[in-house]
Amino acid sequence: MKREEYEKIRARALEYFEKANIILTEEEKDKIEVADFGLGKVEETGLQLVTYVNTDVVCAKELVLFPYQTCPEHKHPKRSFDDGKEETFRCRYGTVRLFVEGAETENRSANPPAGDEDYYTVFHQVTLRPGEQYTIYPNTLHWFQAGEEGAVVSEFSTRSTDEEDIFTDTRIRRIPEVE
Amino acid sequence: MKREEYEKIRARALEYFEKANIILTEEEKDKIEVADFGLGKVEETGLQLVTYVNTDVVCAKELVLFPYQTCPEHKHPKRSFDDGKEETFRCRYGTVRLFVEGAETENRSANPPAGDEDYYTVFHQVTLRPGEQYTIYPNTLHWFQAGEEGAVVSEFSTRSTDEEDIFTDTRIRRIPEVE
Ligand SMILES: [Zn+2]
Ligand SMILES: [Zn+2]
């Protein structure tokens, strides 16, 4: 991602943190992470985040999704030190449609990004509105997409090791590069 | 604690969650925990909290402290399954004065509750304002007190087992009873 695009996305993410009344330090605002997953269409498939803390045992992040932006399908496999990352998502602003393993939801309210349908395989929908949350246990597939207002979501988890996440879309590169 | 007092404290805690723009579900609002530590003076030594999630590995809570209310000195010892609870406190509203092991801070801005000075032994002050945070590693003593506006604090931690906490004040009973 080019620096100029990064700065544009970063500024937009800050607007969502304000809508959600999430207070960040100046240092946190300066280093908002923009994940484009290497697909080159960040406003469609992407995620903006601040990592508050990531120790050997606990991680807490604040995520921003723009309207209809999708975090692509992935799972957190067994690691050398545990059975895999466990994540709880708590919605703070907007709506997030979370898809997990289980019976496909009829008339679901979100679809995978156009053209990427082959890389999405779980369609059991859990809809989270502000104050609602859901826990994803290790090694289970999940993906999520914001509704029309976008979303701000707190993530409480065990240690985060993004580089070990397994994406269904093998074209994905999780670790971003800003040129 | 009598039901009537519990309801009064609970209603007051909800006002602080509103000040901090923390959105809770109705179910969470109904079961706000009030910890009086068995000392019978909850507005001086006490804590109000909502536990969002507490799995085998991760816990997230939202804490409310009224103005000058104190969470008494304690530590989280080694447990059968780990080295002890690790906690990160992130201030969302107000000011919290956190005291940890280390060199005593000169001119510190908070004192232990009057009459309880014998049960407070660590005086290295860390002041947290909104957006600021601090991590407490296992088995280290800490206590905290809100400033004049009270405080709302997010806690990100490993599994919470309150009954295993060790308080310096041996009169303390952590698990509350509402009559
Ligand atoms: Zn995940
Ligand atoms: Zn503690």
Mutation for testing the B interface, residue in A25, A29, A58, A140 having most B CBs under 10 Å: A58
Residues from chain A that touch B20, judged by Cβ atoms under 8 A, are 21
Give the list of residues 6+ apart from residue A84 with CB closer than 8 angstroms, or none.
A75, A76, A77, A78, A138, A139
β-sheet bridge partners, residue B98: B126, B144
- A21, A86, A154: residue with CB nearest B55: A86
Mean pLDDT of A154-159: 98
Measure Cα distances from B86 to B50, B128, B161, B175 in Å: 18, 18, 11, 20
Say if residue A174's pLDDT is above 80: no
Mean pLDDT of A20-31: 97
- Are A58 and B58 a contacting pair at CB < 8 A? yes
Question: What is the distance between the alpha carbons of residues A97 and A54, in angstroms, rounded to a whole number?
Answer: 25
Residues from chain B that touch A86, judged by Cβ atoms under 8 A, are 55, 57-58
Closest-lying ligand to the alpha carbon of A74? Answer: 1
Which amino acid, one-letter code, is at A46? G
pLDDT the model gives residue B178: 66
From ligand 2's centre to the CA of B87, what distance in Å? 7
- Are B90 and A28 a contacting pair at CB < 8 A? no
pLDDT per position as a tens digit, B35-86: 999 999 999 999 999 999 999 999 999 999 999 999 999 999 999 999 999 9
pLDDT the model gives residue A1: 86
- Are B57 and A60 a contacting pair at CB < 8 A? no
* Furthest CA-CA distance within chain A: 44
From ligand 2's centre to the CA of B157, what distance in Å? 9
CB of B68 within 8 Å of a chain A CB? The answer is no
- Are A55 and B24 a contacting pair at CB < 8 A? no
Contact call for residues B53 and B61 (beta carbons, < 8 A): no
Residue B37 in 3-state DSSP? Answer: coil
> What residue of A is the nearest CA neighbor of B154?
A60
Token representation of residue A68: 């209809």
Closest CA to B169 of B69, B72, B41, B47: B72
Mean pLDDT of B89-118: 97
Mean pLDDT of B144-153: 98
CATH 2.60.120.10 is right for the domain spanning A3-167: yes
Distance from CA of B71 to the nearest CA of A (A): 22
Closest CA to A129 of A106, A156, A152: A152
From ligand 1's centre to the CA of A121, what distance in Å? 15
Residue B177 pLDDT level (bands cut at 50, 70, 90): low
Residue A179 pLDDT level (bands cut at 50, 70, 90): low
Contact call for residues B31 and B49 (beta carbons, < 8 A): no
Mean pLDDT of B134-153: 98
Residue B96: is it exposed, middle or buried by C-beta count within 10 angstroms (0-12/13-18/19+)? buried
CB of B27 within 8 Å of a chain A CB? The answer is no
CB of A30 within 8 Å of a chain B CB? The answer is no
Domain range annotation of chain A: 3-167
Residue tagged 């009537």 (tokens): B4
Burial letters for A24-43: b for 16+ Cβ neighbours within 10 Å, e otherwise? beeebeeebbbbbbbbeebe
Count the helix, strand and coil residues of chain A and give each as a percent rounded to the nearest 5: 15, 35, 45
Mutation for testing the B interface, residue in A156, A158, A160 having most B CBs under 10 Å: A156
Output the CA angle A144-A150-A154, nearest 5 degrees. 65
Residues from chain A that touch B82, judged by Cβ atoms under 8 A, are 57
pLDDT the model gives residue A176: 67
Closest CA to B62 of B40, B29, B38, B97: B29
Distance from CA of B104 to the nearest CA of A (A): 26
The reply to whether the predicted model has a pTM over 0.90 is: yes
Say if residue B175's pLDDT is above 80: no
Q: Within 10 Å of residue B119's Cβ, how many Cβ atoms?
A: 19
pLDDT the model gives residue B157: 98
pLDDT the model gives residue B179: 66
**DSSP-assigned letter for residue B109:** S
Q: Within 10 Å of residue B79's Cβ, how many Cβ atoms?
A: 14
pLDDT per position as a tens digit, A38-91: 999 999 999 999 999 999 999 999 999 999 999 999 999 999 999 999 999 999
Residues from chain A that touch B135, judged by Cβ atoms under 8 A, are 53, 55
Write down the ipTM of this complex.
0.95
- A86, A90, A92: residue with CB nearest B57: A86
Mean pLDDT of B150-161: 98
